[in-house]
Structure 1
């Protein structure tokens, strides 16, 4: 899918010549004024210059010089090579709020935007998955507490734009190196069932001596609820006698994140 074919005028012109060759001859009783030749690419030529200017802008100044919709345009150039993608990029940003919101949106919702078909939606999700995999590689086999900003970046990338609550656990070994990253449950827009004994059981199966709890608030506000605080307290109390430490509980929202440890709730 990541190819661009902005030419094709020769092939279309040849096809036009063939149609003229096999056409019935016109009557010669009256003189018909010839229509001016139409370029096969006349309907798209107006944005070719824009595309090149935007590519040059990125090449010379990097992504900091581009607005979110312009960066999205650069991606859509390859995914939709023969259409003006600026209106589509702007419509996507308007619908989902931010560049991250677009990349985190479900395929079904992406396709509700005019100009975005299944293939384009799948390609956008592929790009998002590549980005998430890159962020995850920054914390894999590393001492997690020494790479805290990378942990937050990864959790925000994979959870901030989820439409439903998701409860994730990062399992660490005795050196605080990541053993596993698992989603333990998904719920509704404002609730996820969590079973402390299951959390501890899974930690024991993985020989994990420490865990980091993570969940998202689809509302966007990461402020912990009373239920969040009570659930965390129960997990801490269940895990501690078995030698499993709960380093933190992070709540991810579209507008930021909060740390239970930072709030002194752990």
Structure 2
């Protein structure tokens, strides 16, 4: 019989009792700490443990959570890591990895749903956090556009193109066409650099200027072009590149 890597067969007899004693009491204590103090009461590996409890009911999840953080560097990077790299973590099988990706997608959807009724430009920190949650850990470049109305509220957030690890083709004509379809009066352009280096390339600058040159006469403002990396970001407006 083949063992499920996510849920291995339990130990028998005395060994099974030892396994239960090893981590079941720990799980109860960790849950209680969360009930008493919320997420702020837990370290990153402990919060990962809580998530993994449900995914891996018959495993000690502490070493798995710590291995994820050691491999990927942070809680967000652990959840956002590519599927094939997560499957390299001892104790994480395909089923658990899919479940982690469902949780990551739910977190992204939650962040997106917080945006529409608030001006996008009211908080720079919220804007950056939102963009990071959506694309910081993608392994290929994405070019997305936040379409805004005259009050700078979000009309739509759309991924326009998905490229390779270091290039995404962008067509200014298509950007403007979609802006007019949505009656957008302002845009925030966003793309990610999977390499982690958020410095704008000459092609990034040229493309941004081309979009702004076409948008401005039509009454559409390009507020910024933000480049997102795993550990930082760059604002082309702040860098005065267009």
Query: 2:105 is matched with which residue?
Result: 129
- In the superposition, the TM-score normalised over structure 1's length comes to 0.81
Deviations 1:6-29 (A, max 9, x none): xx9xxx9xxxxxxxxxxxxxxxxx
Structure with greater Cα Rg:
1
Segments of 5+ residues of structure 2 without an aligned counterpart are: 1-9
The answer on 1:83 being equivalent to 2:59 is yes
Among residues 205, 210, 216, which one is paired with 1:229 in the alignment?
205
**CA distance in structure 1 between the aligned counterparts of 2:32 and 2:98, rounded to whole angstroms:** 27
Query: 2:31 is matched with which residue?
Result: 55
Per the TM alignment, residue 39 of structure 1 is displaced from its structure 2 partner at its CA by 6.6
**Which range moved further: 75-84 or 57-66?**
57-66
Alignment of 1:1-266 (within 5 A): 38=14, 40-266=16-242
CA contact (8 A) 1:88 1:115 kept: yes
SS in structure 2 opposite 1:212? Answer: strand
Deviations 1:79-130 (A, max 9, x none): 1111111111122222222111111123333222221122211221121122
Per the TM alignment, residue 190 of structure 1 is displaced from its structure 2 partner at its CA by 1.3
SS in structure 1 opposite 2:179? Answer: helix
CA contact (8 A) 1:135 1:150 kept: no
SS in structure 1 opposite 2:168? Answer: coil
SS in structure 1 opposite 2:191? Answer: strand
Segments of 5+ residues of structure 1 without an aligned counterpart are: 1-7, 13-36
Deviations 1:129-156 (A, max 9, x none): 2211221122113222124332211110
Per the TM alignment, residue 193 of structure 1 is displaced from its structure 2 partner at its CA by 0.9
SS in structure 1 opposite 2:207? Answer: helix
Q: How many residues align?
A: 233
Deviations 1:182-241 (A, max 9, x none): 001111111111111111111111111111100011111212122211111111111112
Query: 1:28 is matched with which residue?
Result: none
- In the superposition, the TM-score normalised over structure 2's length comes to 0.88
